[in-house]
């Protein structure tokens, strides 16, 4: 019965297409393969929805606001504890990047940034240990531009959950500078106030 059907099919293929059954099936297989390659390249909306839906199926805890925390405290949010959110900072602003665990989670290509302020590394497009810091002093204009772009990307993609507390020594150093300026007797008060505002501006930068 099956053999008879096969014979009829072969005859129909020859009659309707003028091709031998072998050529016909080879062409058919090629067309299917080409279709898959092309739909994979341009991506039908269905293809894109599948992974997104899968991500949505694993519910993420809503971002928790942490306020001001130290760089040391930030380290515990590097993804090693899966119950904690995955955090990363740029210019002292901490972002919840839990939704991008594939990038920043353990084993991910950018796991080294997790739990850290990665400003310098991002500005310099560097993966070096020495650049895994929030210290952006001495960067050039292009690097600062690149960092700004990263910051915009993060601001639009992730929720800010806190800021990094400035190290105690920063405050002390500023205090000392101000005190030192006050100690100089020859300075007029006008110069003094100008200096104070300049140092405040410098600090803001
Ligand atoms: C050969 C070089 C590189 C390639 C091919 C590459 C490729 C990629 C790709 C395909 C993505 C995913 C983009 C998306 O879906 O939104 C990505 C994301 C990212 N890349 Fe790279 N990358 C490279 C180098 C770097 C370098 C040098 C850095 C920084 C030091 C970097 C930092 C990042 C970060 C932080 C993300 C994640 C952004 C997010 O959270 O959305 N990449 N990269």
Mutational test site, ligand 1, from 86, 95, 99, 110, max ligand atoms within 8 Å of CB = 110
Binding pocket residue ranges, ligand 1, CB within 6 Å = 97, 100, 103, 110, 121-122, 125-127, 157
Q: Whose CA is nearest to atom 12 of ligand 1?
A: 103
pLDDT of residue 185: 41
Centroid of ligand 1 to alpha carbon of 39 (angstroms):
25
Centroid of ligand 1 to alpha carbon of 35 (angstroms):
30
Give the residue ranges of the chain where pLDDT is below 50.
44-50, 53, 55-56, 171-205
pLDDT of residue 44: 46
pLDDT digits 0-9 by tens, 20-37: 888 878 877 878 777 877
pLDDT of residue 70: 96
Centroid of ligand 1 to alpha carbon of 100 (angstroms):
12
pLDDT of residue 80: 96
Centroid of ligand 1 to alpha carbon of 177 (angstroms):
40
pLDDT of residue 177: 41
pLDDT of residue 42: 64
Q: Whose CA is nearest to atom 24 of ligand 1?
A: 125
DSSP string, 172-198: HHHHHHHHHHHH-TTS-HHHHHHHHHH
pLDDT of residue 54: 52
C-alpha 85/C-alpha 13 separation (Å) is: 60
The answer to whether residues 146 and 165 touch, using CB atoms and an 8 Å cutoff, is no
pLDDT of residue 40: 66
The C-alpha R_g of the chain, in whole angstroms, comes to 30
Q: SS3 for 163? A: strand
Centroid of ligand 1 to alpha carbon of 22 (angstroms):
47
Closest CA to 150 of 203, 103, 200, 81: 103
């Amino acid at each position: 019965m099956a053999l008879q059907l096969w014979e009829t099919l072969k005859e129909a293929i020859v009659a309707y297409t003028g091709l031998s059954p072998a050529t016909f099936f080879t062409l058919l297989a090629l067309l299917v393969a080409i279709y898959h390659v092309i739909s994979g390249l341009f991506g039908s909306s269905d293809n894109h929805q599948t992974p997104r839906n899968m991500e949505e199926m694993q519910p993420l805890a809503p971002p928790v606001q942490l306020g001001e925390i130290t760089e040391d405290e930030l380290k515990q949010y590097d993804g090693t504890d899966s119950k904690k959110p995955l955090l990363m900072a740029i210019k002292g602003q901490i972002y919840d990047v839990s939704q991008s665990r594939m990038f920043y989670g353990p084993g991910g290509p950018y796991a080294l940034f997790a739990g850290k302020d990665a400003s310098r590394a991002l500005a310099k497009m560097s993966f070096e240990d020495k650049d895994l810091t929030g210290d952006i002093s001495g960067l050039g204009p292009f690097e600062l531009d690149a960092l700004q772009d990263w910051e915009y990307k993060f601001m639009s993609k992730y929720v800010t959950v806190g800021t990094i507390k400035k190290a105690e020594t920063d405050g002390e150093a500023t205090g000392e500078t101000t005190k030192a300026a006050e100690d100089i007797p020859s300075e007029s008060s006008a110069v003094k106030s100008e200096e104070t505002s300049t140092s405040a501006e410098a600090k803001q930068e």
